[in-house]
Amino acid sequence: MYLVMSLCEGGELSKELKSRGKFTELETRLIMARLTSAIAYLHKNDMVHRDLKMENILLSTNPDDHKDHLYIKVTDFGLSVVKGGVSHENMMMDFCGTPLYMAPEIIDNKTYSEKCDVWAMGVMLHLLLMGNAPFVSVQDDEKLYEQIKNLDVKEHMVQNYKQWEPITLECKDCLLRMLSIDPAHRLAASEILSHPWITGESLDPANGPRNVLEMMRAWGYQLEDDDTASVSPSESSAIKIQPSINVEEYSSQEGSSGPPSRNGSASSSTAKFSNGSTPQPPRSLSRQRTNSSDLLLPNSNNRIKEHPIHKCHVVSFNYMAMKAKLPL
């Protein structure tokens, strides 16, 4: 039996790095663009490498350009796995990989996804640019794991600002997003391909967020801004609804003269808008039990500054131009 394989005369990328000390940003971008393209293809087909490192990237000669010696090949799929999809049931839990390139979620024995490969690529990006890892490589794995879990790339750049000063803003931004401790905020391989550093564009905050979670958060803030803008000046001065009014109890007492008090009897004091009208509870929220102190009219004093989509949402009901914010 004969095995026919590609000839990679350049050897391992790690050896080339050792001989050079570090790569230029232009060379690094070329290598990372090609590596990301290969990994994005794997992820698209539900394959996760799980052991990306400098030693597993081989250098060859570009068949279309013999002067191009940074034509890379991804090798060593011994720890790779084919997932069954993107659902939670297909998340991985195996503790595997090379310690220097392992993602924080693997070290913490949490379930992880294909974004563990993106973390490894982020470490490689730092190695190519600086010639060293973003954390001190020590003999004791436990100490190394602690450094990985507590990595603050932005602080690391500040402390080594002289080394990072010639690096473009686009490159720094890409690295920060690749080495995010939280995998939910980490770029996917396909998102890296459209990052301004890879495409050669200028980083423009006006282009909006590129991470899916950030886009969801921005969408939530937009809803909040739209709700605030739809309230007229006369209505925005309306008072806060009196405490101890329960939406479910209030909606069941439609014939009462006012909202029930804590002992169940109808109360004579009712919350009113500045124009003298009385708000009526929405029927669609009759099953939601919430204290009326949580029902606020939006103004500059009670705007939700931190609005994570996974923790709360904005429910708007247009009766009497009233807007309600209900925590989950």
Q: Both 64 and 130 in a single domain?
A: yes
Binding residues: 55-56, 76
pTM for the complete prediction? 0.64
Q: Does residue 188 form part of some domain?
A: yes
Q: What's the pLDDT at 297?
A: 37
Q: Per the structure, how many domains does the chain have?
A: 2
DSSP 203: P
Q: Does residue 147 form part of some domain?
A: yes
Q: Both 26 and 158 in a single domain?
A: yes
Q: What's the pLDDT at 135?
A: 85
Q: Which residue positions in the chain have pLDDT lower than 70?
A: 85-89, 137-138, 205-328
Which of these three, 141, 175, 205, is where a domain ends? 205
The H or E element spanning position 47 is: strand 47-48
Binding residues for ATP: 55-56, 76
3-state secondary structure of 44: helix
Q: Both 285 and 220 in a single domain?
A: yes
Domain range for residue 39? 11-205
| Catalytic-labelled residue, pool 46, 51, 108, 141 | 51
Q: Both 38 and 134 in a single domain?
A: yes
51 is catalytic: yes
Q: Both 188 and 318 in a single domain?
A: no
Output the CA–CA distances (angstroms, integers) from residue 202 to 196, 267, 291, in the order listed. 6, 62, 48
Q: Both 199 and 226 in a single domain?
A: no
Which of these three, 173, 205, 237, is where a domain ends? 205
Tokens of 224: 């909040």
Q: Both 47 and 152 in a single domain?
A: yes
Q: Both 150 and 225 in a single domain?
A: no
Q: What single string gives the DSSP state of each residue in 35-57? A: HHHHHHHHHHTTEE-----GGGE
**Domain containing residue 115: CATH number:** 1.10.510.10
Tens digits of residue pLDDT in 307-328: 333 333 333 333 333 333 434 4
